[in-house]
Structure formats: C-alpha cells, structure tokens
Structure 1
C-alpha cells in the first residue's frame, strides 16, 4: 500500500514548498493523521512517542491557517524545556521559510532584555517554557488576546516538571475560541482533566501505537563531532574498524549524494540509495551490496526499507534520525541471524540529549567513544601490514628487487629504509590523508564563563562527579572544563562561552546522585 504524500493533506503551497526543500518524502503516522484534523479547525489530542515528528504535525497546519503577519501573537506554543523551545523554534523557521512570520523562543536562563526587544517590535509565534511565559504575562510584556492557536507540546513532561498550575494560569489569559492542540506520549489523569476542562467537547483524540523497540545483540556507540571534522572522523573510524560491510544513513537525499561523492573520492567502494533514484538503479545497487561488490551502502530511511542483508557488520548514523523508532529500524540492519553487530552515531553536542532519549526509549546503553587518533589507526593497521610483509618474505618473490634494496640500505640504513616502506604501505591502506591529530573540541580560546551549579559538598559532590556529569549529560570533556570550586551548597565551574548553552540545555533538571541540578550563569565572567 502506497503511503500518503504531504501534498495530499491540504497544506498551504508555501508550507509544502518548505517541506519539499527539507526532502521529507512522506509524513509520519502522527503527521498523516493529525494534519487533516487540525486543518478542519478541531481541537486535537495527539498521543505519540517522543520524536515522531510532532513539531511538523502541529506546525504545518497552523502555518497553513494563520492570518498574514501582523506583529501580534497569533500562535502560542508551550514546551517543557528550554532545549525543546529552541528546537521547535528552529523547526518552525524551516517550514515557514516562504512566509514572513516572526518567531520567538522565550525561556528561563536567558536575559529578559534579549526577549523584550523582539516582543516590543512584534512577533507572530511565541514558543516558551511555562514559567517564563508567566513572567512575561505578569510584567505585561506578552499580550495573548490575539492568540488563535495554542499548542501544548510534550504535555506529560510539563506535568512531570510541575507546570500544571502554570499552564492553567496561562490558559485563563487566552480566548475560548482558540484552537488547542495537545501532544503527549502518555495520558495521565491530570492531562485528561486538563483536556476536559480547557478543550472543546468535540476534541479529536489520535493515538499512534507504541512500537516494540529491541536492540539486543547490537553494540551501540556515539562520537561527538562538529561539521568541520565530521567526514575525517568517519574515515578515521572506518580505518580503525575496517568494516566488511556497512550501511551509512543520512537524513536527506542531498546528504546521501554528497557523502557518496566524498567517500568515492577517497577510494571507498560505495554507492547510494534514495527516493530520487529509479527503481532499477536502486535494485542494481542493492544487488551489488548483497553480493559483496560494494563495501558500503549510503541511504535515507525510506530507501533503506526492505533491505535485508545478513552480513552487515556496521550501521553508521552519519546523521542522527529524527526519532527513536527510526533509530531502532536503522540499527536493526546489523546483528541479523543471531550475529553481533556494531552501531555508531555521529552527533553534535546539542544532539547528546537525543542519544539519552533513545537510551531511555530502548532501555539500552549507548557508550561514548573518542575519535581515533593516528596512533590508533596505525595500531589497527600494523597487524595486517606485518602479516603481508611476512607472507612476501616467506614466498621468496622479491629477488628482482634486492639490488634496489641493497642500494637504499647502503645509503640510508636498513632500519630507515624498512620504516619508510612500511609508511608507504600504511598510507596506501588508509583512505584519508591525515595531517595529524587535531583537537576537534572547543578550546579555551573563548571567553571563560563562570557557571553556578546547585550541588555542593553537602551533596557529597566531588570534582570527578561534576566532570563525569558534564561528560555524560552534555558531552563536555574534562580538558574543556576549567576551575571547579565546590562550596557547601553549590559549586562554580569555569567553561568556554561557546559551551554555555550546550551545558545549560542538556544538564538542567538532571541529577547528580539524588540532587536535581540547576545550572545558570554566575554574575561574574572570568578571563
């Protein structure tokens, strides 16, 4: 059965054009079922797992119905965390690229001044955390009388964080003729009561069944990379692991084409598969991969459906997928027929929280690995290089080259000649021309910012605990952390300014031991 297309859902042309630019091929289940209901103007409860494309599910129909930009807030979106507010803002910006709506995320931890300027000039869409929205309402800096669309995103998470009273307070400031869209992974009693009290009687309830997620025999790891060193990092990993057969996943068709071109230019035997390719071309590529004539296949999620190859040793998420379900589907391409498999994911620091969500959803552990150094690569290659040299010596097939060898040895010495020949073999066996080992992480050339952390000696916190917490939660390494001062009830940490947002968005609300952590910028910067 053919899946429904975005252009069959009744969305505005400008929104469709933006979705097409993002190379999304088909709507997810929650998108396909909720968008037509939203476009009818009905209130909606969408019950689906975290990360199933809910932002587009509510964003696309709202943008298709909004009045022209007016500088007055037409849409209010409530999100549980600063991180999600920013993420939703970024996603809406992408699907509203052909409109002129002004979108503003507002949240705690950011100064009011940064938010007041845009609010005074006028914005059309506000995405905010409940506490900061309440602050602006109380200060009369956010006017909500023109709001026609309200979204409660991850409502159960807002409930867990104690925002239910704030939400009810915000709802009391909105017009009753608004359209309300509530999205939640679960439906606890308080969420049901909220819907009953503040949504229309004919509210549509859409439930997307939670699918089983198993990753039993697959070893899972992630690498933190930035865009500048991502491809080199991939080459380093491949040179160390030397996979016999691997599938690499990209988010978009363009991403597949670019990675195929880059890998082929370095000598990798690789081809790509995505929806723009003819069926015959895709079938031929898959046939080559199954027969072992290709070492690597690069694909989008849609193109990879139906791939069933038993001997795939590695799955690599060159781009992290948009949801846990897609992640599980991807890595399930390895570890087939009771064999073990390896799954790698390349992520930015901001995506570390997505890794934690996947761990939570799949009840599995995804371990962090460091990008291999040149020493790691040499160590991995040295065994095969020595075996090849020994085999050549034992076969006695080098007599014609002895005069050249003697000449070189007389001039440079046997040890140096041998080492130079081994280097030539090493360079030939590596696909990337590595200049050396560079620190791909942020260094302390940035301004240093002092952070306040709400744990201290009374919580039995140690510098080691804090370093491990920052690494686990935000992917920040010990060498990126400066001075740590631990006092009785709180601590201060010096970090580069460029890591402040990453640390605050990924660490706030999580626990060290039994203590929930609050992190914010201290009053004073250090140099």
Structure 2
C-alpha cells in the first residue's frame, strides 16, 4: 500500500492547482498515446531486423528526455521552488513516511491535496517528485507494462482508459475529503454510511406502559363494572349524570385504590401513577374519585391530599370538582391560590387550640408560588401526614419548578418528629425504599405521587427530579395502532377535525372575520401568542362591529375572568380571545371551534390549544392561521410529533373583498384608541 503525505504550501489556491494539474495530465496522456500509436505504426510497417531506422524512436525519446531534463533544471533554479522542496522534505522526514510515486495510486483526491500551484509557467509542476518528466515516465511505464502483460494493444488501452477515468472523473459531492494537513495511508476511499435511527433506551415502565383505549364513545365502562368505587361516590356520580366511566378513568381509579391507605398490595409501598391521556378524557375525575374514597374513613382532620396546578383558573376548576364529591362526607377542601389574603388562607388551614394547632383541611389545592409561601411562613400548615401528592399538567410543572416547590413539599412531608417534642409519631413516615423487617415493624404513611398531563414527557432525565417510586404509566392507544407507537405520539381528542389556513400578516384579521361573519361560527376560542396581540385584536374586532367579542388575559382581575368565562359558556359571547393561559386544562363548556390566530411555536402548545374543543368524545374544529414563511416549519413540527396531516383550508380573495372597506375604518379607529391608551398610561 502506497503511503501519501499531504504537504502544506503558502499563498496559493487549491482550485487553481487542480486546474493546472488537469491540464498537465491531459497533455501527458496525449503525448503517451501519440507515442504509442507511432510505435505501433512502425512495428507494422518496418521489418523486424535491427537497423539504423529502428533506432530512431529511441533517439527521439532520448532527445525529448534531455529537453525535459533541461526544463527541470531551470525550474529547480527558482528559490521559491527550492524552498517548497525543502519544506516537503522536512514534512516527509517528520512524519517518518517515504513518498512513493506509483501510477496505480493516482486519484483526483491526491491531486487536490498533494500540492499547490507554483509561480512557474503553465504546464509545469512543483517539486522534484511531481515534475513533468516523472509523471510522463510513469505513464509510459504503465503503458509498456500493459502491452507486455496482455500481449496486445487492448491491455494498454484498458489501463490508460482507467487512468483517464480516474484523472477526469470529478469527486462525488457526497464525499468528504480528509481535513487539510493530515496524513492519509493508502488510497482514499469513502463510502457514505447510512444513518441509522438510534432508538432511545427507556426504563421499562416508559417502554412498556399500560395501554388505554383512546376512543371514548366505543369503550365507555358502566359504573357497575367498576365495583371498587364506594357506593356513596357511585350515587354522587349518578346524581351528576355520570352512568359510565371513560377508558382512562376505568383503568386509573382501580390502580390508585388498590394501594390502600398505609400500604400497597402485599404490604409494599404503592407505586406512583403517571397518566398521559388526551385533553377532555376525564383525567380530573380519575384522581378526585380515588382520593376522596381513600379519605372517607378518616377520623382526625389532617392534610392528606395536596393537588398542585400551574394556574389559578385550573386550581379553581379542580377545587370545584373536589367540593362536589366531598359534599356530605365531612372532608374539607381548601384552596391556596392568592385570591384571598394570606391571613385568611392561614385561618382556613388551621386553628389554634390549647393543645396546639388543629388542622381544618383534608385536601389542599394550590399553585406553586402560594404553596411555597405557606410552607415557609405558616407554621400551622403541616404536611407530615400527606398521603397523596397530585401534580396536574405535570409537563408544565416539571419545566417550571417555581421556587423549587417539589423539594420543599417532600422535605415537609418527611419531617417525622414534631418540633419541641422528643416523642416520635405513631405513623411516622419513612424514606422510599424496599420493604424490610424493620420497616414493616411500625406502620407508616406512604407518599404516593399522581401525575397527569396530555403531553407528559418521555424523557427520563426530566422525570428524574420527581423522585418517582416504581412508577406505572397509563397511555392511550387506538385499535389500529401498534403498541410500539404509543410512546412516540401525542394524543388528540377523538372527534377533532384539524385544518390550517395559509394567509398573510396584513389581512389576517379579515380571515378571522370571514369565519365569524360569513361561516357563522359560534363559541369560538381564539388564541394569540402574547397579551398585547390579544388586546389589539379585541379592540379591532370591537371597532369593526357585528361580533360579540371579549378578551381573557392577565389584564383582567380574577373576578372579571370568572365572569367572562361564565358568559362565554352561556353563549353570550361569540368569540373569546385569549393567550395560552386558558389552553392548560381548563374545561370551558360548549367550545365548538378553536382558532390559533398566531401559529404555536411548540407542539405541546398546539396540543393544549386544540384540546379545548372536542372534549368528552364530542366533535370539534381547530383552525391554525399560518403565514407563508411559517408553513413549512409548522407542518414539519406536526409531522415529527406523529400527528395526522392537516387539511388545507383556502379562503378566496373574493370572499374578503366585501369586508375590506369596513376593515379599513376599523384600523383607523384602532390607531386612535391605542393613542388614547398610551396617553392614559403616561398620565
């Protein structure tokens, strides 16, 4: 195998060198071919005897060799060429590799990397080893060797044909040449390796989840088929018009109830539960029913269930459901979201007696920030007997660990000794671990985590801070899907129809008005990416007229938000413009259509937006307005998430023309209103 050394040169360009080398090699090839033809003709026409005429070709070759040798000496007289030769010799000596010139080792890759253009006339090469006379002799040697070996002209032509193909064929654009200033051993042969998709190595509980049917209508389970539900709660469910459970509820409720209160099945600590199910599939009821049933027989009031949610509106909704199913049971539910003063929330948690503080709450529903405030500033707020920790919208809670609330909750739950007392509690809490004789000797209250989300992450690194103990994952699957595909896809509501609307930025409000006025859409929930965009769109549509529109954002106080949602559910508001604050978990009844005025930037945002409609197995529409420059990225995002391809909904310009004059007037009014608002802020 030949050894090649890649030499360094200064001040010259690779492209020019490659052009000069190609010209030189082409000339040499033509000379060799002409010489072979001349020799062949002489062999055919001249007699075999030796004579003065037969020696003429040798004399011509000798004369030509002398001329080339003279040119070579003239080239060597250049100090620049001499300096290059010295550098080449030094580099080859340092690398410990000899330069071996062989015709079989010539390739376009070597010609590109083995030298640079010199300041000599065209048709010459740099250095002794790369000179014209050397290359010519090599080509001649290969040609004569081929004739001797094959005994015919075909052998020589075949060899020279291969050389010509090697010298003239351009490099494959897919090939990547070796980096400069490196040593290459042997011929440079590169083959594009096929990229193989690397499958993630997941823990067993993520790789093999418990599968739940995604289609709701075809897989509802009657209440009598779930005997683990307490008769009191069954009556309450029927009183609220619930005669059957959704597939997620029918699987998750028994899984939580089988853990018992002090220990799980067989005396072991109960496993943590993770549920990833589509929006509107009944996840809230899936944890409310088992938690309430587990606490029905409690004697002393203590905080034994804590539900943490990302927004105040979602916390209010969960509190409302808890109050429905704890009514008449003696269990007390307290909400910590900042809607009341801090002192009033402290009073609702506990009261002071002669024996110390007495808890007034069995179930606490809180947002992370307010929860941390009470853990740090409310000594009467104790989590030492906490049994259930419920994390709803778990993916968002994982991404936003506000004030490290989870670590503080776990620390407060595992403080087993009362302050100022040397006597341990009867049901002290032990750290998570395997069941041993020492642990079984004294009963303890386990802390079980219940995670729920429509877009629960499958990344073990993100789930690791939660400290899950032998978790079990419940995830949906359709009858036509394979079990191996469930961990790669997000779940969407069953009756959802999705479309995207190509549009331009200037006329985007006209597209929205077209849906409301021409297509007569009602109870439409419209999402924007910012609070300012939501407010400007609200003012523009109100100035246009003909649409009963309202906005829902942080500009409104909690009372105004609650009133706005109530009016929207009653059908008094046709269009509700909102930021993504309402996209998380809030169950707004009667939403028939969701329009994303601004295309979502993340797939989870899209999942939660369209999940506000088509809930509980009902039908719903979802439209996303996409600018031309956003279309490719948006569709790629959905495709990579494994979602079905969206249909394109085109709106003709002729449908928008009648709205244009009134739209221009509304824009003028919007400018005046914005100026007035800015003036009010300055004053």
Q: TM-score normalised by the shorter chain: which range applies?
A: 0.3 to 0.5
Q: From the CA coordinates, give the structure whose radius of gyration is larger.
A: 2
